[in-house]
Amino acid sequence: MRIPSKVVAVALVLGFASVAVADGPRPAHVVPASPDGDLVVALCDGETSAVVRGVKPGQILSRDRAQSVSDELMNEWKKKNPGAGADWDKETLVAQNVKQPSPTSAPRPADSAQGGGAALMPAAGASAQQPRVQGGHTYGAYTTRDEQIWAASTKAFVDSGDKIFHDPKAFGGTIGVSCDMCHPNAANTHPETYPKFQVQLGKVALLRDMINWCIENPARGKPLADDDPRMKAMESYILAQRKGYKLDFGKH
Residue 51 φ/ψ, nearest 5 degrees: -90, 135
pLDDT for position 203: 94
Using alpha carbons, select from 26, 39, 36 the residue that is nearest to residue 218.
39
pLDDT for position 105: 59
Measured over the CA atoms of residue 41, residue 44, residue 46 and residue 49, the dihedral's sign is negative
Annotate 189-210 with three-state secondary structure: CCHHHCCEEECCCCEEECHHHH
Rounded to whole angstroms, the maximal C-alpha distance in the chain is: 86
Using alpha carbons, select from 209, 235, 195 the residue that is nearest to residue 27.
209
pLDDT for position 175: 97
Is the bond preceding 107 in cis, omega lying within 30 degrees of 0? Answer: no
pLDDT for position 229: 98
Domains and CATH numbers, the chain: 40-91 (no CATH), 140-241 (1.10.760.10)
pLDDT for position 108: 53
Residue ranges, the chain, pLDDT below 70: 1-25, 98-101, 105-140
CA–CA separation, 165 and 211 (whole Å): 10
Residue type (1 letter), 139: Y
Is residue 185 a contact partner of residue 241, using CB atoms and an 8 Å limit? yes
pLDDT for position 12: 43
**pLDDT tens string 69-93:** 999 999 999 999 999 999 999 999 8
pLDDT for position 61: 96
**3-class secondary structure, 30:** coil
pLDDT for position 31: 82
**3-class secondary structure, 68:** helix
pLDDT for position 148: 93
pLDDT for position 116: 45
